Amino acid sequence: MRSNGRIYFAKDPEKFVQQAIAKFVRESSSNHRKVDGGRYFDSPLVGFASANDPLFKQYKKIIGRFHFTPQDIFDLTFGKSDRKKELSVISWILPICEDARKANRKEDKYPSLLWSHTRYFGEPFNVKLRNHVVSLLKRRGYKAVAPTNSPHFKHHMYSPKVGFTSNWSERHAAYACGLGTFALCDGFITPKGKAMRLGTVVTDLVLKPSDKPYRHHHANCLYYFNKTCKVCAMRCPSGAITSTGHDKDKCYDYMHNVCRPAKMAEYGVEITGCGLCQTEVPCEFEIPRPIQKKITKVYEIVRSFHKDGAERV
């Protein structure tokens, strides 16, 4: 259906977007490692949020006033005169393939070759995926922008509240889209684990917000669940992770002054992260099992309550 130059997705625009992202991940030749031909990423998770979700304004308080809301980046890209009543945020999770994760599990000081190539070459693939989604929506008459591909995006900013940061957080957008929660190490734990990359697009295509199944922003982290796990801290070679959280300065220093000099020439890529806290941990490729069991139990109680209530009526 067309109207005013737009194609209206009468039935299921969310399914269209999900399938388009999954197809690109599945079929793009860019999703293959140069070093051995293996894939960078497995099938994605996709979620949606309304730009009017209060979380996006809260992030200005949590991260810094400089942090963009979806409306901010849309206005900067298309102008305030083009403001729409409704905007949507599309977020996706790209799980890192198992062979790269397995290689990194064996390491205790530096990232593995496959992990380093996934980080270095996998992100350019993610850039292409963001551009693909934007182009796909534009061809159908909708405006769209990928915040981290935008010339307005800035990283290596500093906030007194959270340390090194940027003016758009893919992880915080993913949280608003119901895709996961934060970990002790600052990673993001999704149903497919925290060994992954993220991407986002803001658009004026109205999409139904995804459910937010998590009780709070640390709900998927075993340490915050019952204090039984600090494996990410034990895996960290720099001591940057403790019970108080993640020391970004110490992590950054280790990556730049230890990992890069040690492995950059050997691997032939710039080392952009060791990823040891994301592998050989209970949340590497799933939500930790004790939390899954708890979630299942809660869902069973809720279903039983609704069933019993329906029978009494």
Task: Give residue-wise pLDDT tens across range 236-256.
Answer: 999 999 999 999 999 999 999
**Per-residue pLDDT for 301 more than 80?**
no
Confidence class of residue 309 from pLDDT cuts 50, 70 and 90? very low
- The mean predicted confidence, pLDDT, of the chain is 91
Grade residue 163 by pLDDT with cuts at 50, 70 and 90.
confident
Q: Say if residue 115's pLDDT is above 50.
A: yes
Q: How much is the pLDDT for 155? A: 86
Residue labelled with tokens 């996961």: 180
Query: In whole angstroms, what is the distance from residue 220 CA to residue 150 CA?
Result: 31
**7-41 residue pLDDT tens:** 766 689 999 999 999 999 999 999 999 899 999 99
Contact, 63 vs 159, CB < 8 A? yes
At residue 209, does pLDDT exceed 90?
yes
Confidence of residue 141 (pLDDT cuts 50, 70, 90): very high
Residue 230 has pLDDT above 60, yes or no: yes
pLDDT at residue 203, as a whole number = 97
Instruction: Give the pLDDT of residue 83.
Output: 67
Sign of CA pseudo-dihedral 112, 168, 177, 122: negative
Q: In the chain, how many domains are there?
A: 1
pLDDT band at 80 (very low <50, low <70, confident <90, very high): confident
More confident residue, 85 or 265: 265
User: Is the pLDDT at 302 greater than 50, yes or no?
Assistant: no
**51-55 contacts, C-beta under 8 A, 24 or more apart:** 51/86, 51/87, 51/88, 51/89, 51/202, 52/86, 52/87, 53/89, 53/176, 53/209, 55/172, 55/175, 55/176
What's the domain range around 57? 2-312
Radius of gyration of the chain (CA): 20
Q: Check residue 5 and give its pLDDT.
A: 63
pLDDT at 312 over 50: no
Percent of the chain's residues with pLDDT above 70: 89
269 near 120, Cβ under 8 Å?
A: yes
